[in-house]
Chain A
Amino acid sequence: GAVVSQHPSWVICKSGTSVKIECRSLDFQATTMFWYRQFPKQSLMLMATSNEGSKATYEQGVEKDKFLINHASLTLSTLTVTSAHPEDSSFYICSAPPHRGRNEKLFFGSGTQLSVL
């Protein structure tokens, strides 16, 4: 079945540095990918929708200059947390629908735990 690969699985960084998280669709093309954030013991909150070849769509309250999303190809979307601070520490998960417009289940990456010191 379709697989979404996300890495790194975990990353620790110093406050003020930038971190890039990659999300790849391994055996299908994804024109759209979704980025979610999950704080401890909380639900998944959609941050943004990444669109191949165009600008990402951000949810209300998400800083687009802080969370840079690039969807440069049909199989790769990246989320860069710029100038990370401890409050950005969270679990980030990407997901992608394998066939746009069809009732197909979303496939999720395995997530990235970001810890900012």
Chain B
Amino acid sequence: AQTVTQSQPEMSVQEAETVTLSCTYDTSESDYYLFWYKQPPSRQMILVIRQEAYKQQNATENRFSVNFQKAAKSFSLKISDSQLGDAAMYFCAYRSQGGSEKLVFGKGTKLTVNP
């Protein structure tokens, strides 16, 4: 079974600064998808960014980018120019390419943005 590990229960960053959230995963599959989800206090799950394992290029979405290291099974999220609205729980998630589209989530990282 696949597992996702987020080793940072909490992180903080100053507004306008950059922060990196870590995620590692374990799988024997060669093709899969990785995601970062944001869960603000409203608890609505919001997709931040996703990465297909077969793509070598790191995904980017505006201020959000990932560092995907397939061999190391690492998938970190970098948030640039942090904003107060970025404060939330961030979950790293894994999904197999075939079969079920269910997600396996890490335990999450609580991000605090200080003004």
Contact = CB atoms under 8 A, between A and B. Distances in A.
A93 B105 contact: no
Interface of B: 33, 35, 42-45, 47, 50, 52, 91, 100-108
30 contacts: A32-B100, A32-B101, A34-B101, A34-B102, A38-B43, A42-B107, A43-B91, A43-B105, A43-B106, A43-B107, A43-B108, A44-B45, A44-B91, A44-B103, A45-B105, A46-B103, A49-B100, A49-B102, A91-B43, A93-B43, A95-B103, A100-B101, A103-B33, A105-B35, A106-B47, A106-B101, A106-B103, A108-B44, A110-B42, A110-B44
B89 to A, nearest CB: 9
Interface of A: 32, 34, 38, 42-46, 49, 91, 93, 95, 97, 100, 103, 105-106, 108, 110-111
Of all A-B residue pairs in the complex, the 9 with the closest CB atoms, nearest first, are A108-B45, A97-B101, A43-B105, A43-B107, A44-B105, A105-B47, A111-B43, A43-B108, A110-B44
